[in-house]
Amino acid sequence: MGLAFKTYAISDLGLHRDGNEDSALAAPRIVAVADGMGGHAGGEVASKIAILALADLEPILSDANIDSDSREDLLLNISYEIDKQISERSKAEPELSGMGTTLTALHLAEDSVELLHIGDSRCYSYQDGKFIQLSYDHTVMQELLDQGRLTPEEVINHPQRSLLTQALMGDSGIDPALLIFPAKIGDNFLLCSDGLTVVLSDQEITKLIKKNSGDALVSALVEAVKAKGAPDNVTVLWVEVVESSDATKKILIGAANE
């Protein structure tokens, strides 16, 4: 019997937004979060484009006849396809010009997970009590941290902390990375928009993981964000690696479900 994802998901407006620009996908072998940006409903449109493209790709990735190299190529290339779709939609509807989205997706292969990542939505692993960030933030702040020009403490309240260096905006200016990690039954992953991580520290998130599980965990994370002001939409996916018979059926979340 193969491995699959069992996912607990929630997407919330937060306390200061009128609409939800986050979209997410939970399927037996792939999960993803996309955080849209852009005025006049552009964010909702961009994140929905990204998630629906991945949802369409999911059955192809799950085909037993596809080899690993072809699957990895498909995952990388979907980011360019999404970028193209965003460009075409922006040209067709000029009021959507400037829209874009992040994309963080995790695909489960035989005994590994493949992480496709663009932007600052995050993917973490949680194994043996250790909470580890697997994705790399494509932000100006992260570059300044890497260069030693800012400290983590200085980043927390920096006015440009969410300024992206990479996003899917229809301009082809992307350099998607595909990272591969081992996976086994009992492993856990957290995917989220920055509506969670801008508000809660890794330590605060870890405490809630240790106290809660499943639906109670994702609800507790959102409530903790709201208790601290929830300035943005917040989307959280808690993902467990299970036997395929226990997998979550495919669901669309947030703007992708509207």
Band (pLDDT 50/70/90 cuts) for residue 114 is very high
| Class of the CATH domain delimited by 3-257 | alpha beta
* Domain parsing of the chain, residue ranges: 3-257
Beta bridge partners of 22: 35
Which pLDDT score, from 0 to 100, does residue 149 have? 79
- pLDDT greater than 80 at residue 94: yes
Which pLDDT score, from 0 to 100, does residue 173 have? 81
- pLDDT greater than 70 at residue 1: no
131 near 205, Cβ under 8 Å?
yes
Q: Quickly tell me which residue has 């920096």 as its tokens.
A: 158
Beta bridge partners of 106: 31, 115
Band (pLDDT 50/70/90 cuts) for residue 163 is confident
Which pLDDT score, from 0 to 100, does residue 40 have? 65
Please write the tens of the pLDDT for every residue from 171-207. Answer: 878 888 899 999 999 999 999 999 999 999 999 999 9
Mean pLDDT of 14-24: 95
Which pLDDT score, from 0 to 100, does residue 32 have? 98
CB neighbours of residue 92 within 10 Å: 8
Mean pLDDT of 92-104: 95
Question: b/e map of 39-75 (b: 16 or more CB within 10 Å)?
Answer: eebbbbbbbbbbbbbbbebbeebbeeeeeeeebbeeb
